[in-house]
Amino acid sequence: MSSVGQPLTDTLGRVHTSLRVSVTDRCNIRCFYCMPLENVNFRPRDELLTFEEIERFVRIGVTLGIRKIRLTGGEPLVRSELPQLVERLASIDGIEDLALTTNGILLTEQAADLQAAGLQRLNVSLDSLSEETFQKISRRSGLQRVLDGIFAARVAGFTDIRLNAIAIRGLTETEIVPLAGFARTHDFELRFIEFMPLDAENHWESEQVLTSQEIRQTLEANFCPLVPSSRHDPSQPAVDFHFSDGCGRIGFINPISQPFCSSCNRLRITAEGQVRNCLFSTKEWDVRTLLREGGSDDQVRELVRDCVLHKKPAHGVGGAEFVKPERAMYQIGG
């Protein structure tokens, strides 16, 4: 029996409308919170989903209520001819939001083509405005290329550009004020994201989590009070504020100190076609094999439904029963 039109609802009543699609596990930098420094084993190209396979999966997802797509990696802009995929996805009836997360290194060269292809929004990782700190985190140079890419995207016509900064105690406290000042000056939305235990080298410790409360205190001491913003989407992971002087917006994503699992509406598919119901899931559902061995659309739908029905109430980070995923962030999709 076909399940077309029936929402993707899990056992707790969470309705899933958002899909994060990793297009590659490769990256041109080596951020320690995401990847190992060396000896990285990337997937062979023939193991990655083709654009045709991604498009088919997304089209099937739309029949289940998926409305938002975010392209991720690795670094998605290292995937050859990515604007072609964007164009394919932008043409699908039912997709209301098509976004991409990038480190910005290649954005200067690709921003115009991505915008022309139908990409609506950009999230750019910007953890620091100091080249020294940038290199400590990314273990590569390139801060100026990221900044150039951000402004190239604006010139290309992107009006919704969000900056994402990982908050790490002992490393990024000095970046809080410069990043906020930069975002206020240039009218970018800035979000601080807590450091999560998804690093490839297993060095994460809970003491490294720099909380939103501490960041907010720093911002208010240096600028002005932060006022809570209205929440347009109850499932969004960020808690948003705006500066009381009317200049700028700040968001906090607190997966460790204030988990938002109860309202999570997201699914993920890895670059090689494994469907995941949580960033911290230890189980995956292999849709690539189904796609390549003649599986029907209904079979794909049932696989996705089974994945959703097995979603746990929460990720459990910090709990006694928490098990860290074997795969790091770059292998899952940010």
Annotated binding site: 20, 27, 31, 33-34, 70, 74, 101, 125, 196, 261, 264, 266-268, 278
Binding residues for GTP: 20, 70, 101, 266-268
Three-state DSSP class for residue 108:
helix
Which residue's entry shows tokens 């139908």? 118
The whole-angstrom distance between residue 227's C-alpha and the CA centroid of its chain comes to 25
What amino acid is encoded at 133 in this protein? T
Torsion of Cα atoms, 222 then 227 then 230 then 233, to 10°: 40
- How many whole angstroms separate alpha carbon 291 and alpha carbon 264? 27
Q: Give kind and range of the element (H or E) at residue 302.
A: helix 297-309
* Phi-psi region at 158: left, alpha or beta (left = phi > 0; alpha = psi -120 to 50): beta
Q: Which of 17, 116, 23, 105 is nearest to 67 (CA)?
A: 17
CA-to-CA dists, residue 25 to 5, 21, 56, 329, angstroms: 32, 11, 20, 9
The answer to whether the CB of 124 falls within 8 A of the CB of 102 is yes
Residue 283: other Cβ atoms inside 10 A: 13
Binding residues for S-adenosyl-L-methionine: 33, 74, 125, 196
Which residue's entry shows tokens 């979603």? 311
Three-state DSSP class for residue 175:
helix
CA-to-CA dists, residue 315 to 93, 97, 271, angstroms: 32, 26, 22
The whole-angstrom distance between residue 248's C-alpha and the CA centroid of its chain comes to 22
